Amino acid sequence: MNISFAKKPLNEVAQTQASEVVDPYNKAFESVLNGFQGKPVDQIKLAIKTIFEAHGGSIDDADLESYSALISEGKRVCLTS
């Protein structure tokens, strides 16, 4: 038996599902940016960690530090799919 899939529709489905995963994170990051810009990194870390936990994910310490520093500097964090 030979099964084949059309790549374009399959890619579109994968892209849609990936967007459904990252979009809630990006909306939450935007909210943290608006509320925590200029705040100490340690305060932002808790907010970022909470975002990941709320969406069933996790974040390693290096990324947590990096994302928090970016937000403190007023820079946008955006996950891509």
pLDDT of res. 3? 59
- 20-77: pLDDT as tens digits: 888 999 999 999 999 999 999 999 999 999 999 998 989 999 999 999 999 999 999 9
Question: How far, in Å, CA of 65 to CA of 77, rounded?
Answer: 12
Question: How far, in Å, CA of 81 to CA of 69, rounded?
Answer: 22
The answer to whether residue 39 sits within a structural domain is yes
The answer to whether residue 2 sits within a structural domain is no
Classify residue 29 as exposed, middle or buried by CB count within 10 Å of its CB (0-12, 13-18, 19+). buried
Q: pTM for this structure?
A: 0.76
Structural domain boundaries, residue 39: 34-81
The answer to whether residue 7 sits within a structural domain is no
The answer to whether residue 15 sits within a structural domain is no
The answer to whether residue 17 sits within a structural domain is no
* Average confidence (pLDDT) over 8-21: 74
Backbone phi, psi, residue 39, to 5°: -85, 160
Q: How many domains does the chain have?
A: 1
CB atoms within 10 A of CB 72: 19
pLDDT of res. 4? 60
The answer to whether residue 74 sits within a structural domain is yes
The answer to whether residue 38 sits within a structural domain is yes
The answer to whether residue 4 sits within a structural domain is no
